[in-house]
Structure 1
């Protein structure tokens, strides 16, 4: 059982003891801390809240909404929604902040609170630290009877989200509609079953949904990795579909399956979306340090500049603003198009890739083959109380002192035509270990070599 209270919110497994797992006490405390921070900003008293389809979503939403109201804030509840939909709704509502109830790709026993500022963007590290200070210092004051907040349920925002995507000047909706795509969608028993069909209907796509009961009882591990998409792959083949679409529970991550059942690869979701956007006028791009080098190649092909950021949506968005990037995101299937909003959005990613396929008149496997070929291997090391991550990475830095190193976020070791990146996860009690090379054998060699060095350090 786990509880992670960090500058980006609170995430944990349901049940158990307060302070050790995600319990009612922890939820109320963190929500009240967030409410205190909101009131300190003088941006208003309205908060937009939405949730994914998790089993615990409703009971947590009831608790969180009541806490916000008892702190004197007015709640606009989107109900079953998506992370990017809440992000769009915050500025449309003129709200002071937003709150998303989702543990994203984590398994069903997890849930989380994710905090947004008045722009509908994830709060900064400094803001998160301020919220934690309010909690630790006991600076939580609830409203008197006459100042309790109000509540309003508004289920219209997924439709508004889709409308905003369709109205993008960069998108040729008619071209997608004429293409007549046949698609299989894995909705992972969450709100993708609501949001993705809403978009595909407007694009005149034929589709079959699998795992589309919004029960939160995920049919498989919800992270859209190849080993979790076998059912989708088989359905694409059996139906003779043009492609398969997989989203995570809160619909901010996106992965495709090719018409031949092969994996397009979540790393290439952003590459393809960027290829489309850059083809309409060029520009700069950003992804995190753990993302494929293929994005740099595609960006430079279109005459733009690529920059890398620390892992985490807020870090990528900050770097995008600094470099005037027209598109960016993360190699986990997260596409950020700032002309729409500054957050990962699977729906806009779907629209861009479908438009690219229609424009080029290619099968999606042919599109994948047109990009620089890289292989990423994604492993992890389970953390225990005995592991000092900072010490481990410092020791490893010494071992590889002759290599090009990047310490912006954990440790990234550059080899000849390959890299290995180690960093402590913000969402799970693990160290993520990623490696990329143009050949799987080479990537595997380097990740095994680095992990053997890690094992040796841990045995000291």
Structure 2
């Protein structure tokens, strides 16, 4: 069905033909490439990698292939077993490893899986490094270890405990304030590893946990992307249980969505906004999101006499700008919270802890807290073009046509109007322009996208 090779890893559907899907041979090849790249770039004899996986049906198979391949290269493996993306990211530096591999396809359906590649800091490898790994995979230039020099293998079962304790130790997490509230919380973990980690964290806070789809068997009961159209069950259960809120995570627990006490979605874009509101209230600084994320984060930052900057789309780009600006908080509008006091990676668990602290200290219901933030509505459309059209030249025309407005060309073209914005990005794989908009109503957001499409048609 599909195999997508990118600078941050390899993603595809299980089964089918080699180099067209994520087959065992593809897994071995790309694991070999990453392991070989590390060996070529590290000035040390013995390397150690940390691996962990979400609960996908194919996870155990991929785990065996990755583990054996790394050992075959002479690399020692520390296997966390069922884990989360942020937990693996935390454990790489904790165990002083040389890198890590996370086996997860994030929010993609169950037929997908992927290898996500981490450096020694537990962060996704950058574009240059990823390109070198892909080149090694293409050339298949591997040198495996002789029998006396095979890598060792060990397991760790304490990774969740370590990750959660690091969260509890954060100065901005007030566990006692949360305990006093005795929150009742419904958790939808889409039958993946969030079903282990999220209740563990909430129980540390003395919360009453109602589990929905928390069995880590990889049988996703609904589309695992935490969007409104997929979350009817938890919205109904929050109301039925008279819970204080609902928590939704994707299969690898790097995206966080919230449901208020009325069974209404808090809004994925507003997870980051609420956490930033809490942190910047206590420490003025910088907040970062990407260009396609809500303007609400900018508004909240300015409310606290703090600064806001936008990066190109992609977690690696957000992290790069966060480091450059020494940001207090950052993330993406898909519910990804990056809190550098813990680590530079999207982490639903630290997001939950910071949000609950904020909720407890504000002494408001979730819906009342949401009402304190400006309400924006986003539109997402795409425009298909014929292959002969020069998309870059077209985007330049759009930029020139709007030069009297606030325009960013960091990633495509984003035009900030006083009351709304539009962001145009080209696809790297097909002749398509993706059009993202935000305004004070859904009608206005959709109308803005349609008007931009009309303008583009006139330019062609």
Query: Which category of TM-score, normalised to the shorter sequence, fits these structures?
Result: over 0.9
Q: Distance in 2 between matches of 1:181 and 1:35?
A: 45
Which whole-Å CA distance do the structure 1 matches of 2:20 and 2:226 have between them? 28
- Structure 1 residues 12-411: aligned runs within 5 Å: 12-42=12-42, 44-379=46-381, 387=387, 391-399=390-398, 401-403=400-402, 404=405, 405-411=407-413
Residues 139-163 of structure 1: CA distance to partner in whole angstroms, max 9, x if unpaired?
Answer: 2111111111011111210111000
1:162 counterpart SS class: helix
Q: TM-score, normalised by structure 1?
A: 0.94
Structure-2-length-normalised TM-score: 0.94
**CA distance, structure 1, for counterparts of residue 75 and residue 168 of structure 2:** 33
Residue 392 of structure 1, CA deviation:
2.9
Partner SS state of residue 414, structure 2: strand
CA distance in 2, matches of 1:362, 1:428: 47
Structure 1 window deviating more from structure 2 (304-313 vs 75-84): it is: 304-313
Equivalent residues of 1:392, 1:454 under 8 A apart: no
More deviation, 12-21/110-119: 12-21
CA contact (8 A) 2:238 2:245 kept: yes
Worse overlay, 154-163 or 131-140: 131-140
* Aligned-pair CA distance for 1:429: 11
Cα drift, residue 438 of structure 1: 1.8
Let me know the Cα RMSD of the aligned residues: 2.1
**Cα separation, partners in 2 of 1:455 and 1:188, compared to 1, 3 Å:** farther
Tell me how far apart the structure 2 counterparts of residues 263 and 65 of structure 1 sit (CA, whole Å). Answer: 40
Aligned residues: 455
Alpha carbons of structure 1 residues 373 and 19: separation in structure 2 relative to 1, 3 Å = same
Distance 1:207 1:424, change over 3 A: farther
| Contact 2:30–2:137 (Cα < 8 Å) also in 1 | yes
Offset of 1:367 from its aligned partner? 0.7
Q: Structure 1 residues 380, 439: closer, same or farther in 2, change over 3 A?
A: same
Give the 5 Å matches for 1:437-448.
437-448=439-450
Aligned-partner SS, 1:127: helix
Cα deviation, residue 430, structure 1: 7.9
437-446 or 353-362: bigger deviation:
437-446
Unaligned runs of 5+ in 1: none
Matched position secondary structure for 2:30: helix
Q: Distance in 2 between matches of 1:282 and 1:111?
A: 40
Secondary structure, aligned partner of 1:77: strand
Partners of 2:392 and 2:265 in 1: how far apart? 33
Q: Which moved more, 1:84-93 or 1:395-404?
A: 395-404
> Deviation per CA, 1:382-403, whole angstroms, max 9, x where unpaired?
x89x757x93353244246322
1:400-455 CA distances to partner (integer Å, 9 max, x unpaired)? Answer: 63224422223323344222223357899986532111222210101223345567
Q: Distance in 1 between matches of 2:375 and 2:356?
A: 21
Q: Which moved more, 1:282-291 or 1:37-46?
A: 37-46
Q: 2:269 & 2:24 partners in 1: Cα distance?
A: 37
CA separation in 1, counterparts of 2:155 and 2:434? 39
Question: Structure 1 residues 25 and 87, CA, compared in 2 at 3 Å: closer, same or farther?
Answer: same
Structure 2 regions of 5+ residues with no counterpart? none
Alpha-carbon spacing, 1:247–1:456, altered in 2? closer, same or farther (3 Å): farther
